[in-house]
């Protein structure tokens, strides 16, 4: 019962919930009663910040790419200007080839941690 298949047994679910609740409390310091409106933002932050244990973001481990925040798309920045469909397709194909390696690196980092 101590494998990731049973997160309730090894404390992963409780740990994740504790982080989300603490972040919600920080955001709701002066705005009581609107936790439902703030929850999507807290979850988005939790999924897109680098974790110490894996040295990756949960988003990148699942989707194989880093997330772009909406501001980066609306405001013209160099990262967005360099995007084009042909280059994106090539990079995506390369990322799909290396996604297993990223997962393996995250597992090694967890074991070392």
- Judge if 110 and 78 occupy the same domain: yes
- Judge if 44 and 59 occupy the same domain: no
- Judge if 13 and 39 occupy the same domain: yes
- Judge if 101 and 73 occupy the same domain: yes
pLDDT at 104 (0 to 100)? 83
CA-to-CA distance for 77 and 53, rounded, in angstroms? 31
Taking residues 40-68, what's their average pLDDT? 79
- Judge if 33 and 73 occupy the same domain: no
- Judge if 6 and 19 occupy the same domain: yes
Q: What is the pTM of this model?
A: 0.49
- Judge if 57 and 105 occupy the same domain: yes
Question: Residue 104: CB partners within 8 Å, gap ≥ 6?
Answer: none
- Judge if 8 and 34 occupy the same domain: yes
Each residue's pLDDT tens digit, 56-113: 888 887 777 777 766 666 666 666 666 677 777 787 777 777 777 878 888 888 888 7
What is the number of structural domains in the chain?
Answer: 2
- Judge if 20 and 37 occupy the same domain: yes
- Judge if 37 and 60 occupy the same domain: no
Question: Residue 31: CB partners within 8 Å, gap ≥ 6?
Answer: 38
Range of the domain at 109: 51-113
CA-to-CA distance for 4 and 110, rounded, in angstroms? 13
CA-to-CA distance for 21 and 71, rounded, in angstroms? 26
- Judge if 75 and 113 occupy the same domain: yes
Residues 92/54, Cβ–Cβ less than 8 Å? no
CA-to-CA distance for 83 and 90, rounded, in angstroms? 11
């Amino acid at each position: 019962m101590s494998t990731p298949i049973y997160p309730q047994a090894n404390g992963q679910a409780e740990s994740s919930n504790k982080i989300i609740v603490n972040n919600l409390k920080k955001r709701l310091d002066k705005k009581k009663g609107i936790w439902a409106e703030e929850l999507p933002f807290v979850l988005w932050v939790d999924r897109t910040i680098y974790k110490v244990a894996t040295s990756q973001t949960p988003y990148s481990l699942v989707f194989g790419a880093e997330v772009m925040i909406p501001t980066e798309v609306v405001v013209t920045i160099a990262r967005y200007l360099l995007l084009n469909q042909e280059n994106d397709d090539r990079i995506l194909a390369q990322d799909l080839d290396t996604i297993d390696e990223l997962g393996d690196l995250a597992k090694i980092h967890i074991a070392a941690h």
